[in-house]
Amino acid sequence: MLEYTWDASVSGWGVLVKSNRCLLSPKGSAPYWGRIDQVVVGSFPPGMPTSEQVHRESVAGWLAFDAALQLALSFGLDVSGSIFLGRNDASAVISACRKGSSSSILQEFAMRISQLCARHNINPVFLHVPGEELIKEGIDALSRDGSDQLPGAAMVRGPACGPTLKEMIFGLAQSLGWTISVDLFASAGNCLVPRFFAQFHEPSAEATDALSVPDWGFSLCPHCKSHHRETVFAFPPSSMLRQCIRKAREDSVKGIFVVPAAVTAPFWNPLLRASVLRSDSVGYLEVRNAQKHLLDTNDYGVQTLAIFAVDFSRINNKRSDCDSVPRCGREMEWRGRGGPYAMADLDDRMRIQAAIRNLADKSSWSAGSL
């Protein structure tokens, strides 16, 4: 049985996913006996009906179920025939999930859960839990500001680009003939393009934790089956700036980066050297009064931002045959959860498999000749 307990607020949603002791086999790892005990927090995707609390709980119920399902699948669990126990404090939402509702919104998201259950042969069970109990368990905090021990949905909302900052970013990309394909540090509610990497296991994110993605520079397009070079957008948290720029350089990334304007910071010179705007006087666009151009700033105290358009292959002298592969026009479409391997890793695996097959063929031939 998999148990997921969720809650929602104006800030977003949060869910705690737990399982009994079971055989887990995450991709790339050996199977082991263990338990799932993970927290997922996220923001609401644009266009969701979240003006009323009961509607927020309904949307969050669907997102929480999807997150729980994806976690179970990522750990290699066979969910067919299993029980998914959903716990929440909104009686109307629990009732809608059990037997339907006259509310079109509650009915829609209850149907979405039912469709996922039918697709994976899951037995859903829904249990009402008093709000006071969710507060004691810390679930209420997940959908808000979090706590000392647990994250909160508010932390993934921002700082987010406001309308004027978005206009500047897309205008810069257009002037260079670039199309942003993936947002490296985002959430469903603030991503600039449909493809994004999230801090937590959000259902609509292509990957969790951008730094764990093997290759930011290139990806295999599922539509045309070719490797294309990505054009990324990155507005990394301040605490991750150094790791972000280091990985961007290692992966020969091309894209647009928004960072604090700090000319003495360690990340500044690599960005300046990789800038494709070096013909300008400074090599970047300066955005003053940053708070006016940002949403959900929380405690983000930066006053001036810098927008860089960079190509790290310029300073790495590292080019790829994929640079010349024409785009198929579908590079911005959401691809679902991506594979765990980088292009170079996949190439190595293919060569190893070919060598193993070659050895096996030789062994068979030798055995047959005896």
Confidence of residue 280 (pLDDT cuts 50, 70, 90): low
Residue 279: pLDDT band (50, 70, 90) is low
The tens digit of pLDDT for each residue in 305-318 reads 999 999 999 887 66
Is there a contact between 161 and 294 (Cβ–Cβ < 8 Å)?
yes
pLDDT of residue 370: 47
CA 21 to chain CA centroid, Å, is: 27
Which CATH number is associated with domain 2-154? 3.30.420
Task: Please determine, for residue 344, whether its predicted confidence score (pLDDT) is greater than 50.
Answer: no
d(CA 94, CA 131): 13
Give residue 346's pLDDT: 45
Range 157-339 has CATH code 3.40.50: yes
Secondary structure element (H or E) that encloses residue 50, with its range: none
Residue 354 pLDDT: 63
Average pLDDT over all residues of the chain: 88
Quick one: CA dihedral 93, 95, 99, 105, positive or negative? negative
Could you give phi then psi for residue 146, rounded to 5 degrees?
80, -165
Task: Indicate if the pLDDT at residue 122 is higher than 90.
Answer: yes
Q: Residue 280 to residues 206, 276, 297, 309, 313: CA-CA distances in angstroms?
A: 35, 9, 30, 12, 20
Nearest to 12 by CA among 200, 208, 165: 200
Q: Which residues, in sequence order, are bridge partners of residue 83?
A: 123
Q: Which has more pLDDT, 148 or 230?
A: 230
What are the angstrom distances between the C-alpha of 293 and each of 226, 287, 297?
37, 8, 10
pLDDT at 112 over 90: yes
More confident residue, 327 or 94: 94
339: pLDDT confidence band, cut at 50, 70 and 90? very low
Residue type, 162: G
The model's pLDDT over 22-53, given as tens digits with 9 standing for 90+, comes to: 888 887 677 888 889 999 999 999 999 999 99
- What pTM was estimated for this model as a whole? 0.82
